[in-house]
Structure 1
């Protein structure tokens, strides 16, 4: 059992928290208010960023001391939304939210994952008709190994998890969010994930 803090109590955060509790972890969910987030992050060795990506950097930098020496699992995408509320562009073109977090929080082990799928797939990958991929980006091998174990707790098989390398690779997976509005308009709001055919 691991103590995990989930920052963000929307669809993504609530879904992840419920699945992690079912897997036997002790989970605290905090809304986006600074006090609640700080209290949750202070007591957990693993913190999941499930806050809206456009405001994540500012919120998490405010928690610099609480996140010191912790693993920060970033599942958010920082986008500029279009009139329909769907992602229209990247907030950090030529970079990524994960890279910005890594630079701003040098004492925190940032690992990017689970940001290339509809939120329901994060905790139920086996429900898709074909095997999805979960990608890992980060500089710390031990932190990535810890996150890999969490993914298996969420139902991800080892062969579905791909370590892409350092944190710079997160700009590729974050850019995949630009597929989302087109996929939704084409096929409706149904579970999907990015998958690499091999």
Structure 2
């Protein structure tokens, strides 16, 4: 059992919190009240960033002390939205949100994952008609192993998980968000994920 704090209580954060609680972890979802995120992060071993990516660096930099030595699982994407509200560009086109977080939080182990799929697939990957892929990006091998174990508890088979390497590889997975508006316009708001076929 791990102490896990989820920052962000929307569809992404709420879904992950419910699934991880069902898996036997002690999960706290940080509300919007002042100090809630700091209190949740302080007692957790693992913190999940499910806040809107556009403001994640500012929000989490304010928690630098509480996140020291912790694993920060970043599942967000930082995008510039188009007129229809769907992603039209990347906030960090020559970097990534994950890299920005790691730079701002040098004493925290940032691991990027679960950001290449519709939110419902994060906790129900087997619901798709073919195996999806969950990618891991991060500088600390042990942190990635721990996050990989969490993914298996969420229903991800080990062979569906691909470790891409260091945190800089998050640039590739974050760029995949640009598929999303086109897939939604083409096929509707149905569960999907990026998958590597071998």
> Taking structure 2 as the reference length, what is the TM-score of the superposition?
0.99
Measured in 1, the distance between the counterparts of 2:86 and 2:170 equals: 20
Shift of 1:33: 4.8
Listed one character per residue, the Cα deviations across residues 9-54 of structure 1 (whole Å, up to 9, x for unaligned) are: 0000000000001101000001345511001000001000000000
8 A Cα contact 1:32 1:51, kept in partner: no
SS in 2 for 1:65: helix
CA–CA separation in structure 2 for the residues paired with 1:196 and 1:2: 30
For residue 174 of structure 1, give the secondary structure of its aligned residue in structure 2. Answer: helix
2:139 match: 139
Q: Is the 8 A contact 1:7 1:32 kept in 2?
A: no
Correspondence list, 1:21-32, <5 A: 21-32=21-32
Q: Which blocks of at least 5 consecutive residues in structure 1 are unaligned?
A: none
Q: Normalization by structure 1: what TM-score?
A: 0.99
CA distance in 1 between partners of 2:182 and 2:34 (Å):
34
The two structures, once aligned, show a CA RMSD in angstroms of 0.7
- Number of matched residues? 198
Partner of 2:18: 18
* Structure 1 segment 24-43 matched on structure 2, within 5 A: 24-43=24-43
Deviation string, structure 1 residues 47-68 (Cα, Å, up to 9, x no partner): 0000000000000000000000
